[in-house]
Amino acid sequence: MIKTILVPATGNDADGAVFASALAVARPFAAHLDFLHVRVDAASMAVTMSSEGGGSVMVGGLVERLDEEAELRERRARDLFDRFCAREGLAVVDTPPGPTAPSAQWVRQIGLEPYWVAEHGRAADLMVIGRPIDGEGVAPETIEAAVLDSGRPVLIPAAAPLTALPETIVIAWKAAREAAHAVTAALPFLDLAKEILILTVAEEENLSSEEGHQLMTSLRWRGLRVSANRLQPDERSPADRLLAAAAERQALLVMGGYGHSRMREWIFGGFTRHVLQTAAAVPVLMAH
Q: CA dihedral defined by 238, 242, 243, 248, rounded to 10 degrees?
A: 140
Phi, psi of 195 (to 5 degrees): -145, 135
User: Is residue 125 located within the same domain as residue 185?
Assistant: no
**Kind and range of the H or E element at 114?**
helix 113-121
Total domains present in the chain: 2
Asked whether residue 138 falls in the same domain as residue 189, the answer is no
Say how far apart CA 99 and CA 159 lie, in whole Å.
30
Range of the domain at 215: 168-287
Q: Are residues 148 and 237 in the same domain?
A: no
Q: Which of 99, 131, 156 is the last residue of a domain?
A: 156
**Same domain membership, residue 251 and residue 145:** no
Whether 161 maps to a domain, the answer reads: no
Q: What is the pTM of this model?
A: 0.88
Residue 31 shares a structural domain with residue 91:
yes
**189 and 220 share one domain:** yes
Q: Tens-of-pLDDT digits for all 288 residues of the chain?
A: 899 999 999 999 889 999 999 999 999 999 999 999 999 887 777 666 666 554 545 565 778 888 899 999 999 999 999 999 999 999 999 888 877 899 999 999 999 999 999 999 999 999 999 987 776 778 888 988 999 899 999 999 998 899 999 999 999 998 888 889 999 999 999 999 999 999 988 655 444 456 789 999 999 999 999 999 988 777 777 788 888 899 999 999 999 876 555 544 443 346 666 677 665 688 999 998
